[in-house]
Amino acid sequence: MSTPSATRRQLDIDRARELIELACRQGATAADLLSIDGDEFSVTYRSNEVEKLHGAHSRRLGLRVFVDGQVATGATSDTTPETLERLVSELVANARAMGSDECAGLPLATEIARDLPDLELADPHADSLDVAGRIDLARRAEEAALSADPRITNSDGSTFAFDASHRIYASSCGFAGEYPSTTFSLISQPLASADDQMQRDYYYTVARHLSDLEEPEAIGAEAARRAVRRLGATQPETGAVPVVFSPETASRLLGSLGSAVCGASLYNQASFLIDQIGEAIAASPVQIVDDPLENRGLGSRPFDGEGVATRRTAVVRDGHLQSYLLDCYSGRRLQLPTTGNCRRSTEGSPSAGPHQLRLLPGKLSPEEIIASVDDGLYLTSLIGHGANLVTGDFSQGAAGLWIRGGELAEPVEECTVAGTLQDIFRGIVSIGSDLESKRTVSAPTLKIAQLMVAGR
């Protein structure tokens, strides 16, 4: 796996190993290190000109040391030998002053990754697009949005963004690994106006490789269509009706369940899915997996934040909960093995989280699902954070389009959808075929048999 030349590494894998050895010589019983070097760029085109242009290089190193069950963490952007050696000695001293936690520690030698697959996370041609080319992508999306409909009267701009990074992880378990990654994105955010009402919406594309992005003209046109369709929105009447979640809103719904199956929520007694392994928590057609081995996936990675081999984990099979998502610490707290789901940055302590959570697609098109609803809500937007992971209660502000006679009708807003996550997932009656790969947590169109919609 090659590194894009734009990403200038300041610390190599041999130096990472030396720092781990230094920590152990100074009294640490175990240690690990994460280093991330990255370049980022973004440009926003608005009102026929470049409105914002930003570029930056970042470098950050995080070190964690253990003295038996005592742990200390620290981070720095200064990778000079003097600073790193001082960081090591300070953290060993800090760890000795901490309380002991018998669950703290690194993976077993049998758990660490041995073979690192090439998941094509870095575009080898990332440098081929110069600044002028990046600006042009944003310009094309913006012009497509503004010309798509006369009711598009303004815009928050169209933004192209790119980042490249190189990640190194090493530990006293004997593991040392590295991989590069790139991410490209393009978003358009037009505003529509009619009859003294203004509405905004957006559409975007994101991919590991530039060639996998949707065309700028398609992004702008779709963003404009979404903004225009919101014009004239009113409050719907209150009632219990079928609700069809778009992929965007279904993915947010799945994200709530993803948080509830993660280690910290479970050992802190803050999840409605405690002790539910083997139980039916969703309708029988529901299949949910965490798959960090998908080629070019936005959440893919060859090893997790502790050097454990990543793997495809079946979280829900035929509606039954099969597995939690755990790192080493939460696994020990729950007396279960790690699932290779350690997520971490260079700051603070690691924790368990999904890498690339997917509710697998069904066979029905979104149009077929909508056609099956005589009177109900097509949900395009959820507002705020209204999921209580302890109880499963779900209540969020919403907007979308009303469905009448199997067809999308007038836009609606200023309403609330409410229920429980338990009832929502068990109430899934249709699953769409339109699973998208542009999110790390992703679900296709979903039809819920009935939810309370509170409006006027």
**pLDDT by residue (tens digit) across 215-225?**
999 999 999 99
Span 221-275, pLDDT tens digits: 999 999 999 999 999 999 999 999 999 999 999 999 999 999 999 999 999 999 9
The answer on 130 and 103 residing in a single domain is yes
Helix pair 81-96, 13-25: axis angle to 10 deg = 40
Residue whose tokens read 């242009």: 53
In this prediction, residue 186 has a pLDDT band, given cuts at 50, 70 and 90, of very high
Decide the pairing of beta strands 407-420 and 176-194.
unpaired
The answer on 240 and 179 residing in a single domain is no
On the question of pLDDT at 42 being above 80, the answer is yes
The answer on 215 and 249 residing in a single domain is no
The pLDDT score that the predictor gives to residue 10 is 58
End-of-domain residue from the set 160, 193, 227? 227
What are φ and ψ of residue 7, in 5° steps? -95, 110
The answer on 187 and 245 residing in a single domain is no
Q: Which amino acid is at 425?
A: F
115 falls within a domain: yes
Helix pair 216-228, 131-147: axis angle to 10 deg = 30
The answer on 43 and 19 residing in a single domain is yes
Span 168-178, pLDDT tens digits: 999 999 999 99
Q: From the CB of residue 275, how many other CB atoms can be counted at a distance below 10 Å? A: 9
Whether 92 and 26 have beta carbons less than 8 Å apart is answered as: yes
Pair of tokens at residue 16: 């990472």
379 falls within a domain: yes
Give the total number of structural domains in the chain: 2
Q: Which amino acid is at 82?
A: E
The answer on 81 and 61 residing in a single domain is yes
The answer on 239 and 198 residing in a single domain is no
H-run or E-run covering 72: strand 70-76
The answer on 244 and 173 residing in a single domain is no
E-strand ranges in 405-445 read 407-420, 428-431, 441-442
DSSP letter (8 states) at residue 276: -
The answer on 120 and 244 residing in a single domain is no
Whether 341 and 352 have beta carbons less than 8 Å apart is answered as: yes
Gap between the Cα atoms of 81 and 427, Å rounded: 58
Whether 435 and 297 have beta carbons less than 8 Å apart is answered as: no
Gap between the Cα atoms of 286 and 50, Å rounded: 45
Closest CA to 369 of 401, 313, 407: 407
Pair of tokens at residue 103: 């669950």
The pLDDT score that the predictor gives to residue 157 is 97
The answer on 242 and 115 residing in a single domain is no
| HEC-encoded secondary structure of 243-255 | EEECHHHHHHHHH
64 falls within a domain: yes
Domain limits for position 241? 233-253+361-454
Span 301-355, pLDDT tens digits: 999 999 999 999 999 999 999 999 999 999 999 999 999 999 999 998 899 999 9
What's this model's pTM, rounded to 2 decimal places? 0.94
The answer on 241 and 126 residing in a single domain is no
Whether 20 and 32 have beta carbons less than 8 Å apart is answered as: yes
271 falls within a domain: no
| HEC-encoded secondary structure of 348-407 | CCCEECCCCEEECCCCECHHHHHHCCCEEEEEEEEECCCECCCCCEEEEEEEEEEEECCE
96 falls within a domain: yes
In this prediction, residue 14 has a pLDDT band, given cuts at 50, 70 and 90, of very high
- CATH number of the domain within which 115 lies: 3.30.2290.10
